[in-house]
Structure 1
Amino acid sequence: MKTGIYLLLLSEICVEIIKAGITPKIPKKEKENNFLETNNNVSISEELHYHKNLSKPSEDRGFEEFTLHNFTEKTANFGFNLYRKIAMTHDNNVIISPLSVSALMTAYMLAANGETHRQIVKVLNLHALKDRVDRQHLPALFKQLIDNITMNEEFLLVQGTLSFIQKDFRLKESFLNLSKEYFDMEFLKVDFKNFTQAKFVINQNINKRTKGKIAELFEELDHHNKLLLVDYIVFKGKWLYPFNSKFTEIETFHINKYRSVQVPMMFKSDKINSTFDENLRCTVIKLPYKGRAHMLIVIPEKEGDYISLEDHLTAELVQSWLGNMKTRKVDISFPKFKLEQKYKMKKLLRALGIKHLFTHTADLSHLTDQGYVGVSQVVQKAVIDVDEEGTEAIAASGSEITAFTVPPVIRVDRPFLFMIFEETFKTLLFIGRVVDPTAM
């Protein structure tokens, strides 16, 4: 009998601008521990108890960095491919975390074998790297990437994986050990047959790890479930040059030729890195966060052209935009917005080529010996909250302007695309589109 596994990808992004002088400098480990509170009310079996293994494969540093850069470039292109699949079926706002999907699919490389493993590797665009590194090194690359990013003291990125296991379902010891080593995976036993109690335990844990942002994710559960995986990513960044809330005004945002909405529009006059793509007819601007991260905003010249822009998105195109950017003084108007979206990704991942994982032919023989195991569903919920909070002193720093020079004006008052990158390894954390800033 086929056993169902339910995968949940949970992504939370909060662009939180904390006032200077108030937030103390907290060591990375303490920040992580403060954010990821442990749930003392949940019973966790001793042999499955979460532990953090910081061991890394020993290899030449130059090769490691080369491989990491290649790894993130390949997974970024997977993210763009996945985004296009979602965008094709949604007319309104979109927000996803490619890194979260990549994390869970990479974790399943440890469980998968044969054609199931090959399909995951190919869809994540890692088949070229697979020739240069061994089977376990691909998950190890993901661990190295997350460890490198989370070392940054100036923004908070927390990534983790929760596994809720039916109490009588046995996982292979090798999978338990490797998933802890490479993904810091935390295992908690529940009884899906008692779905009321299981739902409470699962929702309570997700709520704690997203700091109360997602309180009641599951309204119901399938009592046939054996394993439920939740991958969560939380990013909190502070603008390097914040907007001043005194200048935020209600203005018109043009959704299309026939419809517009009134939104709080942030404003600042500042030096901005930007470029104009003559071929795709769009303006691209870069808004930096403290720490090596930034938001890339792509504004089409004409309303509605964001759909054709999405067809061209690749890691190579993004790098060409960044390489052609010039710094200039501009007046920029940018809407405050908050998006919250939830997607079922089974059909999307199947369309990209991960097919066996969702059928009775799935080969997850490295996961368990208990019969055929297939994945029931993949769900992602992502949230983004962008505002202008900050201090006037920071907003004004580094600004220079020549007398009588009128700065160019960039008005983000029509649908646009956005991407959030960590810069050291060019990691695509989130990507989305804003069609209507007033719609969640």
Structure 2
Amino acid sequence: MKRSVSDILCSKMVSSLYGVLFAVGLCAPIYCVTPANAPSGYTHHSSAKSTPASQVYSLNTDFAFHLYRRLVLETPSQNVFFSPMSVSTSLAMLSLGAHSVTKTQILQGLGFNLTHTPESAIHQGFQRLVHSLTVPSKKLILKMGSALFIKKELQLQANFLRNVKRLYEAEVFSTDFSNPSIAQMRINSHVEKKTQGKVVDIIQGLDLLTAMVLVNHIFFKAKWEKPFYPAYTRKSFPFLVGNQATVHVPMMHQKEQFAFGVDAELNCFVLQMDYRGDAMAFFVLPGKGKMRQLEQTLSARTLRKWSHSLQKRWIEVFIPKFSISASYNLETILPKMGIQSAFDKNADFSGITKRDSLQVSKATHKAVLDVSEEGTEAAAATATKFIVRAKDGPSYFTVSFNRTFLMMITNKAIDSIFFLGKVENPTKP
């Protein structure tokens, strides 16, 4: 017997909150030289260490590595790439409408100790973080934004609407979910536009029970401080996948001064490459068979140690030219990190709407990364900056990223990771 739409809706005590957490990173890679002063890295101000923003930045880094370890378990022997900043910002924004256990689990899952850090301070820290990413820069593009697509009939709490706009600068769109395919098209079009075409069709399978879709996007495009010269890229270079298999990849090549260090304790090489502007990338190459040991020890403290200990020196570096992407269903991953209530029938989002019971039915995250020689400027300009030095030039250390390595994109002034990934096989998009 066929059931009408009204029968279906009436039979459901819980409306669905379809949470979409996603990010995209576009790096037009760039070769870097560290500024002439001392070891480069994050800018730390002693007076800022106890501010809400500094707490958010540091805990975001620990959350990034916590989520990374979980993604590695979920997708063994595969490339991993995501934006921890996008995920944590989306969860923090969602917590504005959560109450009781649901709120506690979200904020504790992000790493906050609620007896030491008031909720207001948490949102104040995220507010500063979000605002810092909306300041335009001529040297790089870094944009993060949030949007709520809300069912027309849903009566939202005024306080929730006010806070998501004020603290997270979110856009809010009244949406007709009675035609799921049209609503899906509208949301996907918004995402595609905001990410300059890099993320398409992120929403799949909306249904009549969908009450709200939460979208967060982050887009990054930058040029290396000194681009790689394409003529020096080796078209086919062996890259070790796993313990025995080998694939061939285009391998970029550069000889210059880089911020570089060897972490004897963790048995890895750490290379910092600067982008024009405040962003930088860390490439981390563990010793053979030492990746798991490295992954287990990653923390905000580890990153700070590297930032302060790297020294500028002559390096010959080989880095693959590659494009990778990854998608994750966070509704199956976050509960394993303690954020459970939001995804089950016990969810309490009465801070969003009192009239309807909501729960998160879906949380999708998608990230894309492109690494190549050039930025957006013509390659001809970079050729004049690349000098082939005489044989009697300075001695240099050679490091080749020809096996599984980690990559992080961060900011010199913010202790937060924009993007984090593991390149297991650079030939798999």
Q: Does TM, scored on the shorter chain, surpass 0.5?
A: yes
1:264 paired with 2:250, answer: yes
1:429 paired with 2:418, answer: yes
Instruction: Give the structure 2 partner of residue 72 of structure 1.
Output: 57
- Cα deviation 1:264-318 (Å, max 9, x = unaligned): 100110001111111221111101111111111110121x432331111101011
**Does structure 2 retain, via aligned residues, the 8 Å contact 1:241–1:396?**
no
1:124 paired with 2:110, answer: yes
1:389 paired with 2:374, answer: yes
Instruction: Give the structure 2 partner of residue 197 of structure 1.
Output: 182
How many angstroms apart in 1 are the aligned matches of 2:373 and 2:253?
9
Q: Specify whether residues 69 and 402 from structure 1 end up closer, same or farther in structure 2 by C-alpha distance, changes over 3 A only.
A: farther
Q: Specify whether residues 152 and 293 from structure 1 end up closer, same or farther in structure 2 by C-alpha distance, changes over 3 A only.
A: farther
How many angstroms apart in 1 are the aligned matches of 2:113 and 2:324?
34
Q: Specify whether residues 319 and 181 from structure 1 end up closer, same or farther in structure 2 by C-alpha distance, changes over 3 A only.
A: same
Deviation at 1:424, TM superposition (A): 0.3
SS in structure 2 at match of 1:11: coil
How many angstroms apart in 2 are the aligned matches of 1:381 and 1:83?
14
Deviation at 1:189, TM superposition (A): 2.2
Instruction: Give the structure 1 partner of residue 406 of structure 2.
Output: 417
How many residue pairs get aligned? The number is 396
How many angstroms apart in 2 are the aligned matches of 1:412 and 1:64?
35
**Does structure 1 retain, via aligned residues, the 8 Å contact 2:55–2:125?**
no
1:143 paired with 2:155, answer: no
Report the AA paired with residue 166 of structure 1.
K
Instruction: Give the structure 1 partner of residue 352 of structure 2.
Output: 367
How many angstroms apart in 2 are the aligned matches of 1:216 and 1:67?
36
Q: Specify whether residues 168 and 343 from structure 1 end up closer, same or farther in structure 2 by C-alpha distance, changes over 3 A only.
A: same
TM-score of the pair, normalised by structure 2? 0.87
Instruction: Give the structure 1 partner of residue 277 of structure 2.
Output: 291
SS in structure 2 at match of 1:13: coil
Q: Specify whether residues 392 and 273 from structure 1 end up closer, same or farther in structure 2 by C-alpha distance, changes over 3 A only.
A: farther
Select which of 81, 87, 95 maps to 2:81: 95
1:6 paired with 2:18, answer: yes
Report the AA paired with residue 157 of structure 1.
L
**Does structure 2 retain, via aligned residues, the 8 Å contact 1:329–1:401?**
no
1:111 paired with 2:97, answer: yes
1:171 paired with 2:156, answer: yes
Q: Structure 2: where are the runs of 5+ without partners? A: 1-12, 32-45
Residues 393-404 of structure 1: pairs in structure 2 closer than 5 A = 403-404=392-393
Q: Structure 1: where are the runs of 5+ without partners? A: 20-60
How many angstroms apart in 1 are the aligned matches of 2:286 and 2:324?
20
Select which of 234, 245, 259 maps to 1:273: 259
Runs of 4+ residues deviating >6 angstroms: 398-402
SS in structure 2 at match of 1:333: strand
**Does structure 2 retain, via aligned residues, the 8 Å contact 1:416–1:433?**
yes
Identity rate, percent: 29
RMSD: 2.3
SS in structure 2 at match of 1:328: strand
SS in structure 2 at match of 1:227: strand
SS in structure 2 at match of 1:307: helix
- Cα deviation 1:211-257 (Å, max 9, x = unaligned): 12223223421221111111111111211121111101121111133
How many angstroms apart in 2 are the aligned matches of 1:395 and 1:427?
33
Instruction: Give the structure 2 partner of residue 32 of structure 1.
Output: none
1:255 paired with 2:267, answer: no
How many angstroms apart in 2 are the aligned matches of 1:423 and 1:357?
34
How many angstroms apart in 1 are the aligned matches of 2:168 and 2:21?
14
Select which of 301, 305, 316 maps to 1:320: 305
TM-score of the pair, normalised by structure 1? 0.85
Select which of 317, 321, 331 maps to 1:332: 317
Q: Specify whether residues 93 and 151 from structure 1 end up closer, same or farther in structure 2 by C-alpha distance, changes over 3 A only.
A: same
Deviation at 1:75, TM superposition (A): 1.3
Report the AA paired with residue 284 of structure 1.
V
Select which of 164, 177, 193 maps to 1:208: 193
Report the AA paired with residue 114 of structure 1.
S
How many angstroms apart in 2 are the aligned matches of 1:188 and 1:151?
23
